[in-house]
Structure 1
Amino acid sequence: MGYWEVKCRFCGVGFNIGRSRRPTEPRYKGWLNTADMIGVPQGIRKNCVKGKCWVIIRREGPCLPDNVQLKDMISTQDIDDNDDPADSDYMLDQDDQEDEYEELEFISDDEMISDGEYGDAEESEEIMGDGVKTDADRRESQNTNGIPHQPKSINDNVPHSPSNHSTQAWTFGWCRSTPKFQVMIDQTIDDRKTWLPAQKFYKAKTPLYYDRMHEIEHTTESADCSTVTAYNGNLIEFEEMRDCNVFQGMVRRQPNWAPESDDIDYESASRYVFTGLCGHMSSTDLRFFPHLRPIRYGQDSVFCNEYVWDPNDNYAMPFHPWCFDIYARLSRRCNGVVDVNGLMDWHYFVDGPRYGEPTYRADGNVDEDDRPYSWGHHEHVRGCGSDFWLHPKGTEYLAANPLFVPKLPALLQMATETKPDFDPRGSPFAESKDDGLQTDDFSRLPWELKMEILSHLSSKNIANLRLASRTFRHLPNTLWKHLLMKEMPWLWEVWCDDEPYFWAAVAFGNIAQSYIDNERDLARYDEQSAEIDRINRIIEEAYVRENPAFVGRWKKASAEALGERPVLSQDWRSKASPVSGKLPSSKTNWYSLYTLITRHWKDLKGLRNRARIWTDIERMMGMIAESRERGLISPLGGDPTF
């Protein structure tokens, strides 16, 4: 078996996703899908944009031959300014044509929202304010006071990252040659003098550049530069991709396992348990199992697969914690409980063993009514899910966190009314002099019948009806709450006040940092303990006969000075990020919220991803319910031996 990355069982998206940073951003905001902090993405040379793409060499010495200086790489190669892939007369040479991957590009966000998606806000009033930034406003001021940190192993003496960056530092659980944790906390912002034009650098025909490409970083200021190994940082912000590499597993509970203190209620009541988290998924053909933190039920590593080769094997079902949060909300909404047993029984015994293969009819065609779950994912997911995750332009939203959407809280706040005279049942539209001229046939209908008609119409049809009939010029604010729940059920801020899934709210960087700090403290403690033991032996040999009381006092004082053995900090448990709660019905302008969401849809990548995942999980729950009706999985609410 060759290299193959495991995908999330819920949404089908891979866990190894990269981001190519802008050169003005701190270093920790850029990484490749291989979990390397830096590197030259595959296929990048012919897609670079003249004057906008730059190469930054992070360690000059090891990267270059002894007789080649950094300043000589460009000037001694006899490269003309016009010898650039961005020029119209430029011809690819043989080396450039050896690029293994063709440029991939999906439809843009603008094209996407026009195809049945949100963004068509023709009927919207002028509600948009200045409190929400758009994609054009995403430029950060430079800070040249960053402290550089080279990434180190968990077994090394890693300096503690500043507290204000610990929740943002990307943490990976497996990195190429060793299954150890690494926390990428390099906050350096590279001086512009160190930027090298990318096209000239790649034309310098020095094979050593690519032998050492993990010491070279490609950055770009252009949204047109594309690669298959990282998303363009000009198209998606670092904060939007929070924990996109983090996964969790679920496995069968063993008979001899006892409940743990951090068990969730529906976890304790099921036959399955959650593992710890990890920040990078290894390939199925490698021998390194992902290392998990925290260690739950004694498991510090686990083998994950979205398919089930043998139902008797206790492989972990992998998923994004944010995807399970959405599943839990949907399950409570549909079943009244979080159906863990049904989900895992369906995975182990029904859909998982199919290996993504369809059912064929007698005529040889695929049975469209009996397709595996993985066949129903969005076309963007199917297009990106190769042996490793591809990153074509237009699919950035697939890596956006659906729970923590940076721009959503501002929109929710804008839709919250602070005026004391706000009427939640009143009309959100301003009165006009023609309001009393209701002469059409609709004016004769009872109000209850009018509302019944409106309940069957879409928002676009309601907008047209308001233009056609004065009777419907003023409608109650609550109508748009109905539309939000009908057309955007995944916007749970409208109707749901559930607590978020704990493992989706806690930052994995904080967890891993606690373990790294503990390893560092233990190493120091053991070193000091060994030194104290050495000194104690010398003291004992010198004074045990003449003054044994002194030796006893010395050992006691040295033990007190050494102190207790360091224990693992649990502070990360109290640092779970809060999420937006349920909006107050008496203070929310639902029409304003609806128009704000539709107007800013293309900027709300996390919300767009939430809608996609919600649709997938609705389909999954339908398949689980069907399997339960056929007696293939355990009944809902019970826990029989299955």
Structure 2
Amino acid sequence: MGNKLSYCERRCRICAVSFRVKRIPTPEERDAQRWHARDAAPHNAALQALQRNDGAGYDGSLISEEEMKGINTLRCLLQKPADFVPEEGDQDFERDSSCFLTDVAVHQGPYVYDSGPFNTVRHGVREAKITNDNDNFGGEWGMPFHPACFEIFKRVCLKKLGFVDIDGLWRVRDLRGSFEYSMGGNFPPLSVRQYALDDETWHHKPGTEYLAANPVDIPGFQELLKHLSDSENTSKEQSRQIPSQPHTTITSSESDIFSTLPPELLTEILWNLSAKDIANLRLASRSFRTLPPILFKHLIRTEMPYFWEIDELDPRGTDWAELYTLLRRDWSSSLLGLRNRVRIWHEAEEIAEMIRETNSGLTH
């Protein structure tokens, strides 16, 4: 018997969001679509769809179509059959596992068990049955997820486990996808998963638009990073980004125990501290008034590992201090994909931890 996720619309097994989230076009977009549909054919399907729109969806003025790109696409994990033969193009993590990946498909939902046809056939699979339930249906049923969510899962696995464990992901689905497990309260009530269990359909609650934003392909984010990596924008004084608190006396050089240490040791100390500890240290010692610019890249890596794009930036021209400050902003109302990425990264970390425990023979 499956949990409620198996009875409602198909959802990503990593982020718990439906594949059939909708968006209501703005009045301007609807007018443009209507005129385009009329010009194409007076009674075509596009115009009829506009006329019978039931109003269910996110307000198009709060999230763009570009931001929602990929929300209705999926990939699946499938169990390898007994006669499975490796193919060219198989990824390393598929070769030694009991599962394999399908290509991408557009889900036809909302309650359809079919994945929809995949863009390309992999291992003879053109489309599959999908379920959010555990493996009671049998190995021929696929476990669905958004392609973008799987990319985040892979990155988290490499960071937390050292390899991409798709067998572990399958086991976690079997564990979380059971009625007894979910109803027994054995896993943390993650906010979106609890939201997904509220009812059988996605309700497009105001304020949750970011849940439908693509967490990998984020409009405007690459342009923002490019601007900050422009050498003309590089700041000469980068230590300002972790300021000392006002009205605090900093230790004089005579009593500063750090003043006799060489720069290499001072840097080593900084590399083992959090941003909060560094700020406190700067209150106590003048030796840390000026911080090496590369320290801020280190802080991004350790505190915000979900911003992997920093590895693609020009290390000589990037204002790491300004970038660190920028990435610590509240993304509640802008760049919705970044806010969703942070959420999904933490979801994937929860899954990776469960995989680690199941690999150790523990139950969760």
* Alpha carbons of structure 1 residues 150 and 382: separation in structure 2 relative to 1, 3 Å: farther
Residues 399-451 of structure 1, C-alpha deviation per residue, up to 9 Å, x if partnerless? 1111111121122112214259x79xx85258xxxxxx983544636245644
Q: Residue 591 of structure 1 is aligned with which of 321, 324, 341?
A: 321
Quote the residue 2:244 is aligned against: none
Counterpart code for 1:300: R
Q: Residue 291 of structure 1 is aligned with which of 99, 112, 116?
A: 116
Q: Residue 9 of structure 2 is aligned with which of 5, 20, 31?
A: 5
* Kept in 1: contact 2:93–2:164 (CA 8 A): yes
Residues 205-224 of structure 1, C-alpha deviation per residue, up to 9 Å, x if partnerless? xxxxxxx9962448xxxxxx
* Alpha carbons of structure 1 residues 302 and 394: separation in structure 2 relative to 1, 3 Å: same
Structure 2: distance between partners of 1:586 and 1:482:
15
Higher share of residues assigned helix: 2
* Alpha carbons of structure 1 residues 354 and 427: separation in structure 2 relative to 1, 3 Å: farther
Q: Residue 216 of structure 2 is aligned with which of 403, 409, 422?
A: 403
Quote the residue 1:270 is aligned against: 97
Residue 253 (structure 2) pairs with residue 428 (structure 1):
no
* Alpha carbons of structure 1 residues 149 and 318: separation in structure 2 relative to 1, 3 Å: farther
* Kept in 2: contact 1:275–1:292 (CA 8 A): no
Counterpart code for 1:406: P
Counterpart code for 1:6: R
Quote the residue 1:486 is aligned against: 302
Structure 2: distance between partners of 1:409 and 1:320:
21
After TM superposition, list the pairs within 5 Å mapping 1:37-56 onto structure 2: none
After TM superposition, list the pairs within 5 Å mapping 1:187-226 onto structure 2: 215-217=51-53
Structure 1: distance between partners of 2:62 and 2:292:
38
Structure 1: distance between partners of 2:137 and 2:362:
17
* Alpha carbons of structure 1 residues 251 and 438: separation in structure 2 relative to 1, 3 Å: same
**Superposition deviation, residue 623 in structure 1:** 0.8
**Superposition deviation, residue 484 in structure 1:** 0.5
Aligned length: 344
**Superposition deviation, residue 472 in structure 1:** 3.2
Quote the residue 2:195 is aligned against: 383
| Unaligned segments of structure 2, at least 5 residues | 241-249
Q: Residue 340 of structure 1 is aligned with which of 145, 159, 166?
A: 166
Q: Residue 15 of structure 1 is aligned with which of 3, 19, 44?
A: 19
Quote the residue 1:191 is aligned against: none
Counterpart code for 1:459: A
- Residue 238 of structure 1 aligns to a residue whose secondary structure is coil
Structure 2: distance between partners of 1:231 and 1:355:
33
Structure 1: distance between partners of 2:124 and 2:136:
23
- Residue 310 of structure 1 aligns to a residue whose secondary structure is helix
Structure 1: distance between partners of 2:268 and 2:183:
42
- Residue 249 of structure 1 aligns to a residue whose secondary structure is strand
**RMSD of aligned Cα (Å):** 3.7
Give the TM-score normalised by structure 1: 0.47
Counterpart code for 1:268: R
Q: Residue 157 of structure 2 is aligned with which of 331, 345, 349?
A: 331
* Alpha carbons of structure 1 residues 150 and 301: separation in structure 2 relative to 1, 3 Å: farther
Residues 84-120 of structure 1, C-alpha deviation per residue, up to 9 Å, x if partnerless? xxxxxxxxxxxxxxxxxxxxxxxxxxxxxxxxxxxxx
Residue 140 (structure 2) pairs with residue 314 (structure 1):
yes
**Superposition deviation, residue 462 in structure 1:** 4.1
Structure 2: distance between partners of 1:600 and 1:240:
18
Structure 2: distance between partners of 1:326 and 1:292:
24
| Percent of residue pairs identical | 32
**Superposition deviation, residue 467 in structure 1:** 6.5
Q: Residue 352 of structure 1 is aligned with which of 135, 156, 177?
A: 177
* Alpha carbons of structure 1 residues 471 and 13: separation in structure 2 relative to 1, 3 Å: same
Residues 499-557 of structure 1, C-alpha deviation per residue, up to 9 Å, x if partnerless? xxxxxxxxxxxxxxxxxxxxxxxxxxxxxxxxxxxxxxxxxxxxxxxxxxxxxxxxxxx
Quote the residue 1:617 is aligned against: 348
**Superposition deviation, residue 398 in structure 1:** 0.8
**Superposition deviation, residue 622 in structure 1:** 1.0
**Superposition deviation, residue 380 in structure 1:** 4.2
Quote the residue 2:243 is aligned against: none
- Residue 126 of structure 2 aligns to a residue whose secondary structure is strand
* Kept in 2: contact 1:384–1:392 (CA 8 A): no
* Alpha carbons of structure 1 residues 625 and 384: separation in structure 2 relative to 1, 3 Å: closer
Structure 1: distance between partners of 2:307 and 2:86:
34
* Kept in 2: contact 1:331–1:337 (CA 8 A): yes
* Alpha carbons of structure 1 residues 283 and 243: separation in structure 2 relative to 1, 3 Å: closer
* Kept in 2: contact 1:331–1:338 (CA 8 A): yes
- Residue 340 of structure 2 aligns to a residue whose secondary structure is helix
**Superposition deviation, residue 324 in structure 1:** 0.9
Q: Which moved more, 1:443-452 or 1:261-270?
A: 443-452
Q: Residue 444 of structure 1 is aligned with which of 259, 262, 281?
A: 259
Counterpart code for 1:241: M
Structure 2: distance between partners of 1:213 and 1:309:
37
